[in-house]
Amino acid sequence: MMADFIINAFADESSADLLGQIDALRRNNLQGLEIRNVAGKNIADVPMDEIKEIGKTIEDNGFNVWSIGSRLGKIKITDDFAPHLDEFKRTVEIAHVLKADYIRLFSFYMPKDEDPTPYRDEVFERMSKFLEASKGSGVKLCHENEKGIYGDIAPRCLEIHKAMPEFGCIFDPANYIQCEQDTLEGWELLKDYVTYMHIKDCLADGKVVPAGKGVGNLPKILKMYAANGGKGVTLEPHLSIFKGLAGLEREGEKSQIGAFQYPTKEAAFDAAVAALREII
């Protein structure tokens, strides 16, 4: 099955530096980058001349930018939208320069412990403005489920996709678990809308673990995704780093410090790739 998947990654989880991110892709034989942060800056904050250099460096090294992993839609629904829409328009320009097909975004943080229903119309109005501003750009906007936002659970994500079918759907199993949403039920609701997947798994308590090691049903969902014609996935490790490990070990020895903790970001990233490959 693996030959059918296009495996991309948030390689900023392996290295802040662009060349380090490219190295993470190369050493793990991955196809492309869902670009999010470079040299400690969110991609939306990088000057356009540097964006052009970033694109050239990625292309010269034989890789591509699959998607812009933006922070769009990660503001409160009560925050001023105008500057956020300006950032969106700039992000579309960045997507063009980097030749990205997709922009990942969210559906706004809801007031804590409040019913999201009264905010539905405002969410849809703002998301409609994203669609309007991107019309004719050739870039597909993709909504990701995320805890705390309007589209946190599958039924509300379905509302978004039914109302605005132009939006692609990013299916993140771990984020659903953290919202107490059964992933198989979520898949059944959204399978006809899924554009690509974020590969992240977690335990019932919400702790992120490598793909296939949690309760996200990733082996089953990936099989159904492939059967549905799905190919693209973005690896998003979010694994624990135990920074003091190296100082506690004698040369040549490795400590067991608990499940799925790693001595470096690079080791965590590589372990996440290996776990994904194991289940596909």
Alpha-carbon gap, residue 157 to 152, rounded angstroms: 7
Q: What is the mean pLDDT of residues 53-61?
A: 98
Chain mean pLDDT for the chain: 93
The answer for residues whose C-beta is within 8 angstroms of residue 35's C-beta and 6 or more apart is 12, 43, 54, 65, 67, 68, 69, 98, 100
Grouping H, G, I as helix, E, B as strand and the rest as coil, residue 196 is strand
* Alpha carbon 192 to chain centroid, angstroms: 19
**110 pLDDT exceeds 80?**
yes
Residue 174 has pLDDT above 80, yes or no: yes
Amino acid identity at 19 = L
User: Tokens 């004698």, residue?
Assistant: 250
What is the domain count for the chain?
Answer: 1
Tokens 């001595």 correspond to what residue?
263
pTM: 0.93
For residues 61 and 11, the answer to whether their CB atoms sit within 8 Å is no
Confidence tier at 242 by pLDDT (50, 70, 90): low
**What is the pLDDT at residue 241?**
80
- In 113-264, which residue ranges form alpha helices assigned H by DSSP? 120-134, 154-163, 173-177, 183-190, 218-227, 245-248
Q: What is the CATH number of the domain that holds 217?
A: 3.20.20.150
Domain of 138 in residue numbering reads as 2-279
